[in-house]
Amino acid sequence: MVKSIQITKASIRDRLIIDAEVKMNDPHDYDFSPRANMEGNVLQIQNEDDPESISTIELDNEQMNTVERDRLVELRVKFSVHGMHGVLTHKTKIARDGPNSKKLAEPRWKTVLPIVL
């Protein structure tokens, strides 16, 4: 289950882009089905059938025009697990800064959601 959803940023490129951080209860939990709703100029993102995990952001006029034109939003999600991801107390040397280094995997997800007005 989703513990919390937090919208961190809203921006416009070709369409409205919403960046969000989602905290899950368990690392083996894959139950995340986001939904987007509009009430006036407030955009709500929530998990399907979960009224507790809801996050809102107030949109400005330019963002509202983009939403009304496209009727969809691009959602970029960064996942973390409650109690597992935090601040490291003992940091080691970063070995990925050379020309042949590989980027470490990050729990990120991107999708396009229709907006229910």
pLDDT tens digit string along 6-22? 999 999 999 999 999 99
Which parts of the chain sit beneath pLDDT 70? 82-106
pLDDT of residue 38: 94
pLDDT of residue 84: 63
Cα separation, 70 vs 114, in Å, equals 9
15: containing domain: 2-85+104-116
Asked if residue 9 is part of any domain, the answer here is yes
Asked if residue 95 is part of any domain, the answer here is no
Asked if residue 110 is part of any domain, the answer here is yes
- Interacting residues of 17 by C-beta distance below 8 A, sequence separation 6+: 10, 11, 73, 74, 76
Asked if residue 66 is part of any domain, the answer here is yes
Cα separation, 41 vs 67, in Å, equals 10
Number of domains in the chain: 1
